[in-house]
Amino acid sequence: MKIYYSNAHSMHNPSYEVVDGGVRTPYLETPQRMDRILSVLEKQPWAELTPQKECDLQPILAVHTSDYVEFLRSAFDEWQFEATDYEKQALLPATFAPRNTFHRPRSLLGKAGYHMMDLSAPILAGTFEAALNSAACALSGAEALFSGDSAALALCRPPGHHAGRETCGGYCYLNNASIATQWLSAKGRVAILDIDYHAGNGTQEIFYDRGDVLTISIHADPDDHYPHFSGYIDETGTGAGFGAHRNFPLPDGTGDDDYRSTLGQAIQFIQEFEPRYMVVSAGLDIYEGDPMGTFKISLVGVHNIGRSIRALNLPTLFVMEGGYDQDSLGTTLIALLEPFT
């Protein structure tokens, strides 16, 4: 299996994040996550570590607005000129756009509040370069499927499934899975299965009115967990996309048996959709003991998730999302991928 990976991910390395209540804590989405994964993958005889292909902005602009991409590209440099009375290490706004916002401000902090959903996605000097290469990993995996590979893994960092058409948040800047899916959708119908602990709100937004892409997210109940405002069971698509999106919110403490039952329902939707390609947003924060989750999915449970996806017999691209228990992250990813090796 080809594993697409870029060293540019380490260019994005925030020193802290601001959590509920305004407390600064160490940033959990660290470069060390990739180091731990690679240390395990390098020992696997089936893992073919492959440099990502270069990509231009065209496939990214097919998913994200040009204003948003330009903001990500230029915001940090602009901040260095404007932040005379502020900390310059990272751009974070204090004002966020409410619902039904009609104007995109001209000022940098105004644009930041317009495009940034929360305080977990600061923009640093290397953020755009890291995000661009992360998207390139996903696109390289999509091209591998189109070329005939049965499976591929895109080791994307930063992750992407919380990024919307013109918003970043939840550690995510460019929606890697959606960018790969958009590229593949010109070749045939695509199903996205998001197994991250948190709802894939960005992916939902991007494809919500599309009928040629099926999006399914299995996640913690957003009433109690991030992203809070998306991921509910009654959100099923609109217009041509009505019925082509499904959310499966699950309660705290969900274990292997209940997760397997829910996954079975998701698999049935995928089979009925009859896609040509499968994209999996592979968040491993569902694993028991992850500091960001409450599920109790065992290593065997993660392996069985991989088996269920494999049984669909579709060309499948795994796109790395969350997973923050660094001691187990590589082992858990191997468990998910083994049925494809």
Q: Is 169 left (phi over 0), alpha (psi -120 to 50) or beta?
A: left
Q: Which contiguous run of DSSP H or E holds residue 63?
A: none
Neighbours of 88 (CB within 10 A): 13
Helix (H, G, I), strand (E, B) or coil at 287: strand
Which residues, 6 or more positions from 311, have their beta carbon under 8 angstroms from its beta carbon? 267
Neighbours of 106 (CB within 10 A): 7
DSSP category for residue 255? B
User: For the chain, what is the radius of gyration of the CA atoms?
Assistant: 19
Tell me which amino acid residue 159 is: P
Instruction: Note whether 28 and 292 are within 8 A (CB).
Output: yes
Relative to beta strand 17-19, strand 23-25 is: antiparallel
Q: Which contiguous run of DSSP H or E holds residue 327?
A: none
Instruction: Note whether 169 and 92 are within 8 A (CB).
Output: no
Peptide bond into 227 cis (omega under 30): yes
From the list 115, 162, 225, 245, the catalytic residue is: 162
Whole-Å CA distances, 244 to 157, 169, 238: 28, 24, 9
Nearest-angstrom CA–CA distance, 179 and 151 = 17
Q: Check if 219 is active-site.
A: no
**Apex 306 CA angle, 328 and 237, nearest 5:** 110
Whole-Å CA distances, 154 to 1, 28, 177, 285: 11, 20, 9, 17
Catalytic residue annotation:
162
